[in-house]
Amino acid sequence: MEQARRPALTQPEGPPGLASIMKFLYDFFPILLFFVAYKVMGIYAATATVIVATVAQVAIFWLRHRRFEKMHLITLAIVVVFGGATLALHDPVFIKWKPTVAYWLFAVAFLGSAFVGERNLVERMLGHAISVAPPVWMRLNTAWVLFFAAMGVLNLYVAFSFDENTWVNFKLFGLMGITFGFLLAQGFYLARHMEPEEETSGES
């Protein structure tokens, strides 16, 4: 006879959002090195350090996974262009603009993904591990668009309203703390909306 099993939740290994948090910590490593280099040697040494660290980050990811991640490549291009301009022209204004340009490019990418293809960027990144209704993916994608847009504005406000040391501190602790909190909120939101997957056994 046939027996119906209890609905099982489709979820990744570990708590929802854990993979995103670990990725977040990996992605922020160049910013940590930027902070340390700034405190020891100043803005120009810190700029050179973050360029080298970002190149190393992309190389390490390729060595481990034999592929490149688009966001890493975009970040690398922005770091090289704006960091290089800061070093070449001896003007820190370019490196101060770098986080905002990156955030706004990501906002455009997430926004565009809602209209191109069958899945938006959030669903493409997490859909293999978590099953939620399409409107949930859309709301999360929209939240990321608004988050990136707001973070870009916030970076400019701090960079050009306060002294350089305050901006560097905010770049590590402020932006990192806000992003970490946003990822945690995303994890809790996903946990609330995960869909049960009906499983039935064959004939016994």
Confidence class for position 145, pLDDT limits 50, 70, 90: very high
Residue reference for tokens 């995303």: 186
Q: Are 132 and 193 in contact (CB under 8 A)?
A: yes
Confidence class for position 187, pLDDT limits 50, 70, 90: confident
pLDDT at 9 (0 to 100): 37
For residue 146, what are the domain limits? 14-193
DSSP codes joined into one string, 134-188? HHHHHHHHHHHHHHHHHHHHHHHHHHHHS-HHHHHHIIIIIHHHHHHHHHHHHHH
Question: Count of domains in the chain?
Answer: 1
Cα–Cα distance measured from residue 42 to residue 36, given in angstroms and rounded to the nearest whole number: 9
Cα–Cα distance measured from residue 122 to residue 79, given in angstroms and rounded to the nearest whole number: 24
Q: What is the mean pLDDT of residues 68-81?
A: 91
> Considering the domain boundaries, does residue 6 fall inside one?
no
Confidence class for position 138, pLDDT limits 50, 70, 90: very high
> Considering the domain boundaries, does residue 180 fall inside one?
yes
Cα–Cα distance measured from residue 62 to residue 56, given in angstroms and rounded to the nearest whole number: 10
> Considering the domain boundaries, does residue 179 fall inside one?
yes
> Considering the domain boundaries, does residue 8 fall inside one?
no
> Considering the domain boundaries, does residue 72 fall inside one?
yes
> Considering the domain boundaries, does residue 69 fall inside one?
yes
Higher pLDDT, 187 or 79: 79
Instruction: Tell me the percentage of the chain whose pLDDT exceeds 90.
Output: 58
pLDDT at 23 (0 to 100): 65
> Considering the domain boundaries, does residue 81 fall inside one?
yes
> Considering the domain boundaries, does residue 79 fall inside one?
yes
Residue 12, CA distances (Å) to 18, 23, 65, 131 in order: 9, 15, 19, 10
The per-residue pLDDT for range 10-31, each reduced to its tens digit, is: 333 444 455 555 666 677 889 9
